[in-house]
Structure 1
Amino acid sequence: MIKVIIKEKNSKIWSYEISGHAESGEYGHDVVCAAVSVLGITTANNLYKMAKIRPLAEMESGYLKVEIPITLSNKQSENSQFLLTAFVNALEEVVAEYSQYIELEHEVKKEANNA
């Protein structure tokens, strides 16, 4: 099973992690794995090419972690959220169709009050 963890802080997505294998078909013919891989890698590439952000990324077989840096301009932050929200929306569509092969989890953290 593929597990995707979306990490949010202060209503903003700042990281995603994809791990595991769907095993929904033979190696090389696994459409669920292919869909999730394409979404994860394309989002990381678009953060770099379109939002001009160099995300911190780690990738190996069956694993991808992408994290955006803390310091971003307002425009970069806006663009990154647009791209990351599109990524989550697309993943939700894959989960709706293939829930037996993929699990989507949201980790939401709130900023502590400075009072």
Structure 2
Amino acid sequence: MTRVRMITRRGRCVGFTASGHTGFAERGHDIVCAAVSALTQTCELGLSDVLGLEPVVARDDERGTYVVRLPRGVRKAQLRRAQLLFRTLYIGLKSIEAAYPDCVRVNANDRRWN
């Protein structure tokens, strides 16, 4: 199962962690994994290429871990725009979770996000 946790601080999302393998199909044929990967990677690209931020990224493909966090010192305007990307990621992942509840779990450490 892939578990995604939205990392929040003071009601704002500052990143996410994704870990585990969905187990829907074998590596290279897993459409659920591909969907989760597409959404999370697009969020990272949005932070860097659209908002001009340099997110802190840690990835280990063998272990199936992927962590993306906003860099320190993000201005309020950038933080507000980043919320749109994180909220879109969250909604997309919750949709996948609803369709494949045995493969994906999404939550946040702030109840306002769940």
TM-score w.r.t. structure 1 length? 0.89
SS of residue matched to 2:81: helix
TM-fit CA distance, 1:35: 0.6
Q: What residue in structure 2 maps to residue 94 of structure 1? A: 96
Supply the AA of the counterpart residue of 1:37. Answer: S
Q: Is 1:17 matched with 2:25? A: no
Runs of 4+ more than 3 Å apart: none
Supply the AA of the counterpart residue of 2:94. Answer: E
Q: Distance in 2 between matches of 1:55 and 1:68?
A: 5
The higher radius of gyration belongs to 1
Alignment RMSD:
1.3
Gaps of 5+ in 2: none
Q: Distance in 1 between matches of 2:88 and 2:2?
A: 19
Q: Distance in 2 between matches of 1:70 and 1:42?
A: 21
Q: Distance in 2 between matches of 1:83 and 1:103?
A: 19
Q: What residue in structure 2 maps to residue 59 of structure 1? A: 59
Q: Distance in 2 between matches of 1:38 and 1:98?
A: 16
TM-fit CA distance, 1:106: 1.1
TM-fit CA distance, 1:25: 1.2
Q: Deviations over 1:65-112 (max 9, x none)?
A: 000023222321121111111110100100010011011121129xxx
Q: Percent identity?
A: 26
Q: Distance in 1 between matches of 2:8 and 2:72?
A: 12
Gaps of 5+ in 1: 110-115
Q: Distance in 2 between matches of 1:7 and 1:108?
A: 8
Count of matched residue positions in the alignment of Structure 1 and Structure 2: 109
TM-score w.r.t. structure 2 length? 0.89
Supply the AA of the counterpart residue of 2:36. Answer: V
Q: Deviations over 1:1-44 (max 9, x none)?
A: 10111111111001200000011012211011111111111101
